[in-house]
Structure 1
Amino acid sequence: MPGNSERRNRRTTQKKGPQIGSGGQRRRGLKGKGPTPPAEARTGHPKKRAAELRARKDAGRKAAARRGGTSPSELVVGRNPVVEALRGGVPAATLYVQQFLESDDRVTDAVKLAMERGDVHLLEAPRPELDRITGGLNHQGLVLQVPPYEYAHPDDLTDAAADVGQEPLIVALDGVTDPRNLGAVVRSASAFGGHGVVVPERRAAGMTAGAWKTSAGTAARTPVARATNLTRTLKSYQKAGLTVVGLAADGEMELGDVDALGGPVVIVVGSEGKGLSRLVGETCDIRARIPMPGGAESLNAGVAAGIVLYEAARRR
């Protein structure tokens, strides 16, 4: 009869709800698990792996900054860029060549140039390893590792001038973000007797492989210093007796009238689009303009710095 069965756990009542042996599983099953976490927080998701990679790179950059003026190492990727970097005298630590790579003239030239230097390590690596170290970029079987650049301290530039008995001639870049412009300025500073170039630590171009290549090897003998705060660095130079001359399209003086270029001076060059930032412009002792009778509105940083450095060298 119903209700008289002796089988275990047989329902003997019409009352609903958890019964003996359920452990409240039905009640727990009604609870939600909350909102779906973002992709960056899901284990194994590609976005999470990308976020972790960015975090590791940021940690590496911060650690390099704490060590004092050292940039992280850089990778030059692809057959043409690698060959051009080696021909341009860009410092290199290691040339990675993919195993079982179908060779062409560029691969042959890259290996030959690396061997001729004598200080570049040659390593064969499987394609998956090159994919990993380049983050999946199209490396074409060639990857060149550029060692970290050792930045000078801004005070080292004035010390270098004092060591040779000369009055300092320094170029400071404000908001210049193109490494090729930085390389061109370094080359001009080397050509006209400059004692170095100062760049801000943030929001500015650094000594990358592109800057090295544009400098045509002069970066090896003309130091580049990195300033934590450019305005404070310029004020420090002023206290040391240097005149700070900023280039501006609306400058109060024409370049030819600036007698300060013949003495201890810091030439400040801004970006082609924005010019000098407000604080840097207010810090300058003199704001000079380059006369351009041809009607051009502006010059890029590399060309402008070259003109002013020539004028300073002529006066000296």
Structure 2
Amino acid sequence: MARKGHRPSQAAPSRPRFYGRHAVTAALANPERHVRKIWGTREALAAFDLPSSIPVTFADVADLARLVPNDAPHQGLVAEVDPLEDVWLGDLLLQGKDDQRPLLVLDQVTDPHNVGAILRSAAAFDALGIVTQDRHAPPESGALARAASGTLETVPWVRVVNLARALDEIAEAGFWRIGLSGHATQTLGQAIGDARVALVLGAEGEGMRQNTEAHCDELARLPISPKVESLNVSNAAAVALYAIAARG
């Protein structure tokens, strides 16, 4: 998936280390991803036909464990990679102008496991991509790539400086912006309609910021049981994406 543009206001990001079969295999399969180096057990590396341009180091399980966070399930594979180049929001909106694929907008969702799980759901339900605020979203990392189970390489991820301005641009592209909120009076099913939908989700606990809510066309809630106060944001995203996919 091509990712164009750079973030001139920021220093160059450090190189993340991906671990686990899905994350490493997907990184190797992505022509836009530059894999700098791979460490692995002989057994795990035997499954790959690696190009000679990638330095490979054979290592045992204990050595690999020192390359990743504590207790990270590396499955015998670790890869050092360059972060993907940025995607411009305008390019993504133009790419999806002739279809009904939903867009996901995340307001200060900072947990890499949640963002990774949301990427996986976005891929499962064929979302156009996700949009986050650059300073309030996690960087690419091994934990995020593992939670995404390979979909970090396939789902476009737009990082913007100003989320409110991005929501204005999304509206101009013809999307109906629905913010998920527990205090909304209508359910998501009542709010969806037939328009192209941009789902806006806030951080677990705090929810969307007030200014983000103000840039939504409607607020809606998931019809969950009163036995549960709320859903994890990644679970909420999956349920909402299913509702959009099933509306037809």
Q: TM-score, normalised by structure 2?
A: 0.77
What are the residue-to-residue correspondences of 1:27-176 with 2, within 5 Å?
A: 65-66=7-8, 71-76=13-18, 81=19, 85-86=23-24, 89-91=26-28, 93-95=35-37, 107-113=41-47, 115-118=48-51, 121-123=54-56, 144-162=79-97, 165-176=98-109
Residue 178 of structure 1: aligned partner:
111
Question: How far apart are 1:218 and its partner, in Å?
Answer: 2.6
CA distance in 1, matches of 2:149, 2:79: 18
CA distance in 2, matches of 1:119, 1:155: 37
C-alpha contact (below 8 Å) 2:192/2:244 kept by paired residues: no
Is the alpha carbon distance of 1:301 and 1:70 closer, same or farther for their aligned partners in structure 2, counting shifts above 3 Å? farther
Task: Give the drift of 1:82.
Answer: 5.8
Q: Is the 8 A contact 2:38 2:78 kept in 1?
A: yes
One of 291, 297, 307 as aligned partner of 2:223: 291
The alpha carbon displacement at 1:112 in A equals 3.1
Structure 1: state its 5+ residue gaps.
1-63, 98-105
Cα offset for 1:96?
5.5
Q: Which moved more, 1:190-199 or 1:204-213?
A: 204-213
1:203 alignment partner AA: H
The question of 1:266 aligning with 2:198 is answered yes
- Contact persistence 2:101–2:126 (CA under 8 A): no
CA, structure 1 residues 190+75, in 2 after alignment: closer, same or farther (shift >3 Å)?
closer
Q: Report the equivalent of 1:204.
A: 137
Given that 1:177 and 1:204 are in contact with CA atoms closer than 8 Å, whether structure 2 keeps it comes out as yes
Per the alignment, do residues 239 and 86 of structure 1 end up closer, same or farther by CA in structure 2, a change over 3 Å counting?
closer
Of residues 152-161 and 228-237 in structure 1, the stretch that sits farther from structure 2 once superposed is: 152-161
- CA deviations on 1:83-141 (whole Å, 9 max, x unpaired) are 67436x345613365xxxxxxxx62245435x43437712559xxxx9xxx8xx9xxxx
TM-score of the superposition, structure 1-length normalised?
0.62
Instruction: Give the root-mean-square deviation of aligned CA atoms.
Output: 3.5
* SS at structure 2 position matched to 1:95: strand
In the alignment, structure 1 residue 233 sits paired with structure 2 residue 166: yes
Q: 1:301 to 1:90 in 2, by over 3 A?
A: farther
- Tell me if the contact between 2:122 and 2:155 (Cα under 8 Å) persists in the aligned partners: yes
Structure with the higher helix share, 1 or 2:
1
Q: Distance in 2 between matches of 1:224 and 1:73?
A: 18
Distance 2:50 2:148 in 1: 19
1:309 corresponds to 2:247: no
User: Partners in 2 of 1:75 and 1:221 — Cα distance?
Assistant: 18
Match of 1:252 in 2: 185
Q: Corresponding residue for 2:3?
A: none
The residue type equivalent to 1:308 in the other structure is: A
Tell me which amino acid in the other structure corresponds to 1:279. N
Computing the radius of gyration from Cα coordinates, the structure with the larger value is 1
Q: CA deviation at 1:70?
A: 7.6
Aligned-pair CA distance for 1:310: 0.8
**Seq. identity, %:** 28
Q: 1:50-91, CA deviations, whole angstroms, 9 ceiling, x for partnerless residues? A: xxxxxxxxxxxxxx6218998542135xxxx4667436x345
Change (3 A) 1:120 1:172: farther
Paired with 1:280 and 1:309, the residues of 2 have a C-alpha distance of 20
Judged with a 3 Å threshold, the aligned counterparts in structure 2 of structure 1 residues 283 and 222 are, in CA distance, closer, same or farther, namely same
Identify if the C-alpha distance between structure 1 residues 222 and 143 changes in structure 2 by more than 3 Å, giving closer, same or farther.
Answer: closer
